[in-house]
Structure 1
Amino acid sequence: KGAEEEEGNEDEGQTKRKRKRKRKKKQLSDEAETNEDDNQEKEKLTSIDHTIFVEGIPFDSREDDVRGFFVDNGCDDVIQLRLPQWQDSGRLRGYGHIVFNTTASREKAISELNGKNMGRRYLSIKAPNPPRPGTSAGAILGNKARDQPEGCNKVFVKNLPYDATEEDIQKAFVSCGKIIEGGVRLARNYSNHQSKGFGYVEFKNPEGAYAAVNRAAKPFGVVLSGRPCFVDYDEKEMKGSFRTDGGKLWQKQHGNVHGEN
């Protein structure tokens, strides 16, 4: 009987190990599929083949209105709107780029929606001009991807819209990789707490920083409110004088994340 019990326990152990291996294999497969989907979306966001240029947007429209216009007209797979705004009022400037998930929606927008009314204005919709060699958004700003310093997981970002918040920047970079808690820091004016137009993004892993720098070097790489952003690796220690939009010292609010006092 003892031998039978031993054999039964051994069979049960093998079954558990098989299940564990199967679960691990499925987990790895799911992670690989997720990474592939993320990579495909990043490529679309920087691809001219998925992008249109629009003029004639009503100045009193909001981003949701623009998105709704295309959805209502059969182009319902908008994945990004890059619509410049006036800094003083936050109103749209009336033009911008829109990225679709499929080339079919992009072609439909150009062929069927060009000249169509949106509110009291006529929309002009066309393919964006292809960037000339050396004149991509990244190249204009000197954003040529350099070799990544070993272990570097932080990037420096400039040419940011002055009204861009930490949350706006987080959304722009989150597809590059996981950002640590409180990992977006804006340089702000000491007296009025207004952004100075540059800041830093700290990722959990160096792969995030690598993805951000290389994405910014492409046409339409990293754009906020119509402004192409310069992105480069940053190896310096973060200054303790950075403040949040409420004027609090960043270090006091988020320092515990890094084990600082």
Structure 2
Amino acid sequence: MMRTSGGVARADVIENRWGRSRGFGTVVFDTPEDAQAAIERFNGEVLEGRQLEVRLSKDISERRRPELRNTEFTEGVTGDGPPSSVIYADNLPFITTEADLHELFETIGRVTRAEIQYNDRGRPNGTAVVEFELSSLADVAITNLNGYNYGGRDLRISYARRPENYDAPMDAEPEQYSAELEQYQGEPQQFSAEPEQFTAEPVQQYQGEPAVTGDAIDEDIQDAPQQT
């Protein structure tokens, strides 16, 4: 349909998990003039009982551009990596969102993180990084979704490959917490005498002499660690 307005370089239609169109898509024309011609011709037209809204996608991209940046989770990640719980999805429609990623890959199992990758201009480049709860789920996703037609495009799914200089922020934490835990576990031994100290005779004496002021309390009690 759009080819009647000019040269079309690419067209994507987003589908749901059942393979049905979600009612929107993007068309990349050869020239800005062809895109403008399509807007003038088809915006407001009725197709199969529904009125079309055709506009330049640049407006949406510019509003969201400050947010469209790669994170430490996606920066430099490619495909064909070693087995893990993280996969790399390639050849996605450009209009795919992170919500779409969750909807697609949670048909396999629980997804803990899913993010789109962006180019230097802050636009989606058709790839994404998805982390499953279990490594076995990543294997199932590759088996079932590699080559799957999604939004008119055949997906390429493989294990994610991190950059060589990638340093997982969580790697050093287990030893740190382990050392702190051992130190903490040893501290209670310093207070093992407290129960006897607070149940000694001075306390019993104080309980039997309610009129005695704080100045008359035995020095043993005064020297005891104060509870806060």
What TM bracket, shorter-length normalisation? 0.3 to 0.5
Bigger Rg over Cα: 2
Task: Give the TM-score of the pair, scaled to structure 2.
Answer: 0.39
